[in-house]
Chains A and B, each alone.
Chain A
Amino acid sequence: MSHGDTVPLHPSSQSDIDEIENLINISAHSSVLPAKPQSPPRASIPISSSPFISSNIPQPSYQPQQQQQQSKPKPQSQSLPVPPVLPISNISPNSNGMSGFGSPVNTLTEPVWDTVKRDLSRIVSNLKLVVFPNPNREDPGKALRDWDLWGPFFFIVFLGLVLSWSASVKKSEVFAVAFALLAAGAIILTLNVLLLGGHIIFFQSLSLLGYCLFPLDVGALICMLKDNVILKVVVVCVTLAWSSWSAYPFMSSAVNPRRKALALYPVLLMYVSVGFLIIAID
């Protein structure tokens, strides 16, 4: 704004920008942060950390700006059809009244460390939601709301690595087979649910199936460390049951109740085959 001399702006657009500034100053009455980091000439990431923003605040506390023509409609299709008051596209629903510009500036200019922390905490919370008992399990749509694929990625790679380490021969092939089996299995299971007429989102389901591998990861690790067959069978059975138990609510509620078994059986089958792979590796 005050650095307009660095960019050749048309004189009329400069006055537009001043008008916008005035609007911001009027409407940003509850700003916790300054409305914009003081116009850096280039988009630099501030050193100081901005407040931690969770990425899914369901109720938008969106400031009714003066120029807003209509209230924000419920998001229906692909992109949020929010008319921008200011030239920022798609004020996302996690605008928590921070500033007149809303949260896009905050997630766009947040320090890198904040992004890392946010992603890491998302992984941990997803893991806790899926694998451990918690009150949200009955409502699957709510539970894995902000899915991410990092957790599943790490778990699948970890399982492949553990299986590969446990194998005494053909390590590379074991790894490749394990990875391909798990990845293709997750995709096929999701397709299965979709073809059964279920309501599930592709990536959400992939994410869920990946997170449910966590117990099997633990089981495989234990089996790698201790070589007793009986122990292996017991451990694998326990972790298999745990995995299936964590996958159950999401899968079963996604489809018609009459088709629950059709959706669940392949999941069980896949986990059983992974369990056999863990036991049989020597």
Chain B
Amino acid sequence: MDPNQTVGENYANPKTCFFHVLFKAGALAFYILSALFFNSFVIIFVVTVLLAALDFWVVKNVSGRILVGLRWENEINDLGESVWKFECLDQESLARMNKKDSWLFWWTLYLTAVAWIFLGIFSLIRFQADYLLVVGVCVSLSIANIVGFTRCRKDAKKQIQQFASQTIASRMSSTIQSAFSVV
């Protein structure tokens, strides 16, 4: 078996956790430190927003799947309506998810959003509209991910409850059927 899992103390997916944190920290660090090195706003903007967009993609497509087993999509169906689709792993895989992984996932998600909002307030106070633009883009990306994954998690819990009650109902009915068939 996997020694990491039985110990339960280490991260089960260290590489994914690393990437999950890398782009977030990179975007924040670059934004904060860039004033020291670059005069040009364009570079700051493009690199920060690029890192934030990469982070969004990584969280949505890779670390969400691996660390917490959730995935959200928004698609348009045949009627032309917007439909949110949530996918999650089955219950036993979810139960097997490393606690540390998911703790890291959720906490970094919330913390980055808070950090960007804080930086936004900062640049608002200094009346720097163009930096506010950068922060605005990054905040909206973080919040999109938070909203998507929170809804996905709620949906997953609901589905698990539904499934549990269905299973109980079906087991009861099959028990009753078998009892009657014996008779």
Contact = CB atoms under 8 A, between A and B. Distances in A.
Interface in B54-72: 57, 61-62, 65-66, 69, 71
Contact of A180 (B50, B133, B155): B133
Contacts, number: 166
Given A6-B1, A101-B90, A147-B76, A41 B96 contact: yes
Interface in B66-111: 66, 69, 71, 73-93, 95-98
B175 interface: no
Contacts of A204: 76, 82
A37 B133 CA distance: 44
Q: Number of contact residues on B: which range applies?
A: 35 or more
B144 to A, nearest CB: 10
B156 interface: yes
B46 interface: yes
B2 interface: yes
Contacts of A49: none
A83 interface: yes
A79 interface: yes
A60 B129 CA distance: 48
A36 B83 CA distance: 26
Contacts of B98: 42
Interface string A164-190: 100000011101100110000000000
A214 to B, nearest CB: 18
B4 interface: yes
B75 A145 contact: yes
Given A41-B1, A67-B166, A175-B41, A92 B89 contact: no
If over half of B's interface residues share one DSSP class (helix, strand or loop), that class is named, otherwise mixed; here it is helix
B45 interface: yes
Contacts of A146: 75-76
A79 B162 contact: no
Given A89-B159, A201-B80, A44 B66 contact: yes
B119 to A, nearest CB: 17
Contacts of A175: 41-42, 45
Contacts of A3: 1
A147 B69 CA distance: 24
A157 B69 contact: no
Given A56-B75, A115-B61, A78 B83 contact: yes
B170 interface: yes
A7 B92 contact: yes
Contacts of B62: 112, 115
B120 to A, nearest CB: 15
B2 A42 contact: yes
Contacts of A87: 90-91, 159-160, 163
Nearest to B13: A42
B5 interface: yes
B177 interface: no
A164 B77 CA distance: 39
A138 to B, nearest CB: 14
Given A86-B90, A115-B61, A6 B66 contact: no
**Chain A to chain B: the 4 pairs with minimum beta-carbon distance, closest first:** A89-B159, A172-B41, A104-B87, A141-B80
17 contacts: A19-B171, A41-B5, A58-B78, A67-B166, A78-B83, A87-B160, A90-B87, A108-B65, A112-B62, A115-B62, A141-B80, A171-B42, A172-B40, A176-B129, A179-B45, A180-B133, A203-B82
Interface of B: 1-2, 4-6, 12-13, 40-42, 45-46, 49-50, 53, 57, 61-62, 65-66, 69, 71, 73-93, 95-98, 129-130, 133, 151, 155-156, 158-160, 162-163, 166-167, 170-171
